[in-house]
Amino acid sequence: MSEVLYDVTDRVAVITLNRPERLNAWTPTMSTEYLQALDQASADPEVRAVVVTGAGRGFCAGFDMDYLQGIASTGDSDGRDREPAQMEPTVPKPMIAAINGSCAGLGLVRAMFCDIRFAAAGVKFTTAFSRRGLVAEHGLSWLLPRLIGMSRAMDVFFSGRVFLAEEAYELGMVNRVVDGDVLAAALDYAKELATFCSPASMRDMKMQIWRDTVATLEESWERTEKLMHESFTRPDMREGVASYVEQRVPDWPPLYLP
């Protein structure tokens, strides 16, 4: 059975972590299949947005505990726990996490590195690292303070405490709490992006935002000026203006990888 499912509907790719009997706990196999799904969504010119969710009651409960027990007993992971850096940020399309259930450890990492996060009401979150004798893993110590501030990130990391979606929203970790079907809400949002927003514009803005986290204002300004003038020559701008003037749904050109 595949540990990651992949489906496309209405120009939205849905990636589902698929170990429901283990709350979609992460494994090396899941990591490989997840990367393959991201590559597939990136390369498909008809896919305009990506939604990530979990099968069953959980989003992702972190690394599989059986696997972690093996590492704890030997002190050696053979490098199999090393997640590739910057997985989601390199996807040239918006990524929306539909957090349908427990979101812990590496599951929290994967959710936070998505661009937008919807969470079902009452869902439980935790970093859990400090309570397992671990550290802030896979770039989360870089990202989380940028999302919620340093002091709040320290609390979330140090305590490893469990908190609910409603507090995650107050902290700034999720964009929306959904009292109902969180996957349906995320899909509605993704489909709106896919319909009304230029794929090339979303690709470039995502790149701008991620790169500008480590750029000076001058560097950002210079890059933006170049991108802005390039956008004037693209068919996306012509279609965006024409569809507005003609009061119709835009017919965006496909987005091909360079």
Q: How many angstroms separate the CA atoms of 109 and 34, rounded?
A: 14
| Whether residues 204 and 237 fall in one domain | yes
Q: Look at 16-30, 133-147, 228-242 and tell me which has the smallest mean pLDDT.
A: 133-147
Q: Is the pLDDT of residue 76 over 60?
A: no
What average pLDDT does the segment 227-243 reach? Answer: 92
| Whether residues 204 and 94 fall in one domain | no
Instruction: Give the 3-state secondary structure of residue 256.
Output: coil
Give 40's pLDDT tier (boundaries 50, 70, 90): very high
Q: Which residues pair with 26 in a beta bridge?
A: 63
In contact, 120 and 99? CB cutoff 8 Å: yes
Q: How many angstroms separate the CA atoms of 86 and 171, rounded?
A: 23
**Widest distance between CA atoms in the chain:** 66
pLDDT at site 139: 84
pLDDT at site 78: 55
pLDDT at site 221: 87
pLDDT at site 256: 81
| Whether residues 133 and 207 fall in one domain | no
Of the candidates 16, 47, 40, the one whose C-alpha atom is nearest the C-alpha of residue 30 is: 16
Instruction: Let me know if residue 255 belongs to a domain.
Output: no
Write out the residue range of the structural domain in which residue 69 sits. 4-194
Percent of the chain at pLDDT > 70 equals 91
pLDDT at site 83: 56
Q: Look at 77-86, 105-114, 169-178 and tell me which has the smallest mean pLDDT.
A: 77-86
What's the CATH code of the domain at 133?
A: 3.90.226.10
| Whether residues 86 and 202 fall in one domain | no
- Backbone dihedral region of 43: left (phi > 0), alpha (psi from -120 to 50 degrees) or beta? alpha
Q: How many angstroms separate the CA atoms of 68 and 91, rounded?
A: 29
- Backbone dihedral region of 180: left (phi > 0), alpha (psi from -120 to 50 degrees) or beta? left
Give 68's pLDDT tier (boundaries 50, 70, 90): low
| Whether residues 120 and 234 fall in one domain | no
C-alpha atoms less than 13 angstroms from C-alpha of 242 in its C-beta half-sphere: 10
212 exposure class (CB count in 10 Å sphere: 0-12, 13-18, 19+) = middle
Give 72's pLDDT tier (boundaries 50, 70, 90): very low
Instruction: Let me know if residue 257 belongs to a domain.
Output: no
Instruction: Let me know if residue 91 belongs to a domain.
Output: yes
Across the chain, mean pLDDT equals 90
| Whether residues 146 and 239 fall in one domain | no
Q: Look at 44-48, 84-88, 108-112 and tell me which has the smallest mean pLDDT.
A: 84-88
User: What are the strands of the beta sheet with 49-54, ordered from one edge?
Assistant: 4-9, 12-17, 49-54, 95-99, 116-120, 176-178
In contact, 139 and 181? CB cutoff 8 Å: no
Q: How many angstroms separate the CA atoms of 223 and 161, rounded?
A: 41
Instruction: Let me know if residue 252 belongs to a domain.
Output: no
What's the pLDDT tens digit per position in 122-175?
A: 999 999 888 777 877 778 999 999 999 999 999 999 999 999 999 999 999 999
Instruction: Let me know if residue 210 belongs to a domain.
Output: yes
Q: Rg of the chain's alpha carbons, rounded to an integer?
A: 19
What average pLDDT does the segment 67-78 reach? Answer: 52
pLDDT at site 246: 96
| Whether residues 8 and 43 fall in one domain | yes
| Whether residues 105 and 203 fall in one domain | no
pTM of the predicted structure, to 2 decimals: 0.90
What average pLDDT does the segment 37-58 reach? Answer: 96
Q: Is the pLDDT of residue 193 over 50?
A: yes
